[in-house]
Amino acid sequence: MEDLQEREKKTILVVDDEKPIVDILLYNLEKEGYDTLEANDGIAAVDLALDKKPDLILLDIMLPKMDGLTVCKRIKQSLNVPILMLTAKDEEIDKILGLELGADDYITKPFSVRELMARIKANLRKFEATSSEIIDTKGNEKSGNKIKIGPLSLDFEKFEVRVNDKVVDLTLREFEVLKYLATQPGQVVTRELLLEKVWGYEYYGDIRTVDVTVRRIREKIEKDTSNPKILITKRGVGYYIATDY
C-alpha cells in the first residue's frame, strides 16, 4: 500500500500525437496510481514540462511542430527529469541520438504495457535513489556522502562532480553511472551490470546505451577522450575508475 501511495504522488507527462496511444497510456498509468499530463505536439510538450515539472516524461520521437529529439534537448537544458523515448522507428541512429541529447531510456513501438510500466518504475526509482554505502579503498578519501579518487570527487548529497576541483555538469543518469563506478574504484564493471544496477532493470537491451552514456561522461571529465585517465575501458569487459595517479 505504501508503494502505491508513493506512486500516486508522481506525475507523468505523455507526449504523442496519436490519440489512441495516448488514451491507452493514460488509462494504464492512472490505473497504476500515477497522475498524468498530456501533450500532442512538441511545443506544447516543452511548455507543459517546464510549467508543471513532471516526475517522468514519455516522449515520442515523431511529433508535429517540434520533433521529440529537439523537445528532449530543450527540456533537459532546464529540468533534470527522466525522459523515456517512444519510437516506432528501430534505427540505431534514433536511439543513440536520443540518448546523446539527454534521454534516459527508450522503448520501441509496439511495446507491451507491462514492460513499459517496468521501465517507468525503474527510472523513477533510480531518480529517487538515495546515496548508497561508500566503499573505502586505500589512497581514497571518504567523508559522509563524499568520495575522492585522484582528481575526481563526488558529493552524493549535492549530486556534484568535480575534476581537479572544477565543477562538471552531469545529468543525473551520468552522475549515477560515475557514482556506481566510483564506489568501487579499480574494479571493472561490465556493461550488463551497469545496465542492471544504474538503469534499474534486467532485460536484454542494447548495451550501447551504456557506451553512449560513458562517452558523454568522458567528454565532460577527461582532457583527452581518446586517451582517458579517469574513466577507463577494459576492452571486451566493461569500465572502471582508475586508482593510479
86 and 148 together in one domain:
no
The x, y and z cell numbers of residue 136, run together, are 573505502
Q: Do 25 and 123 sit in the same domain of this protein?
A: yes
Say yes or no: 153 and 84 in one domain.
no
**Which cell goes with 4?**
502505491
User: The domain that contains 24 carries what CATH number?
Assistant: 3.40.50.2300
Q: Do 119 and 177 sit in the same domain of this protein?
A: no
Q: What is the pLDDT of residue 7?
A: 43
State which residues form the domain around 15.
2-128
pLDDT tens string 23-79: 999 999 999 999 999 999 999 999 999 999 999 999 998 899 999 989 998 998 888
CATH (domain of 211): 1.10.10.10
Same domain for 122 and 90? yes
Q: Does any domain span residue 152?
A: yes
Of the residues 89, 105, 128, the one at which a domain ends: 128
For residue 80, being part of any structural domain is answered with yes
Asked whether residue 20 is domain-assigned, the answer is yes
Residue 166 within any structural domain of the chain: yes
Predicted pLDDT at 138: 41
pLDDT, averaged in runs of 10, over the chain (245 residues): 55 95 94 95 96 95 92 88 82 66 82 90 74 40 72 87 92 88 92 83 69 92 93 92 84
CB atoms inside a 10 Å sphere around CB 72: 27
Q: Which of 94, 128, 162 is the last residue of a domain?
A: 128
Do the domain assignments include residue 206?
Answer: yes
Q: What share of the chain is helix, strand, coil (3-state, %, to 5)?
A: 40, 20, 40
Same domain (yes/no): 53, 145? no
User: Quick one: 124 and 25 in the same domain?
Assistant: yes
Same domain, 106 and 145: no
Kindly state whether residue 134 falls inside one of the protein's structural domains: no
Positive/negative CA dihedral, 236, 240, 243, 245: positive
Whether residue 156 is found in the same domain as residue 48 = no
User: CA-CA distance, 14 to 145, in Å (whole number)?
Assistant: 35
Residue the block writes with cell 497522475:
35
Check whether residue 31 and residue 95 sit in a common domain: yes
Please tell me the predicted confidence (pLDDT) of residue 8: 52
Are 117 and 10 in the same domain?
yes
Model pLDDT, residue 79: 84
For residue 205, what pLDDT is reported?
Answer: 61
- The span from the CA of 33 to the CA of 12, in Å, is 11
Give me the pLDDT at residue 233, please.
95
| 133 within a domain of the structure (yes/no) | no
- Measured at the alpha carbon of residue 231, what is the angle toward residues 75 and 106, in degrees to the nearest 5? 35
Listed residues 128, 149, 182: the one ending a domain: 128
What is the domain count for the chain? 2
Number of separate helices (H) and strands (E) present in the chain: 9, 13
What distances in angstroms separate CA 173 from CA 69, 95, 135, one per listed residue?
17, 16, 20
Strand partners, 108: 87
In this structure, is residue 135 part of a structural domain?
Answer: no
Q: Are 183 and 228 within one domain?
A: yes
| 11 in Cβ contact with 52 (< 8 Å) | yes
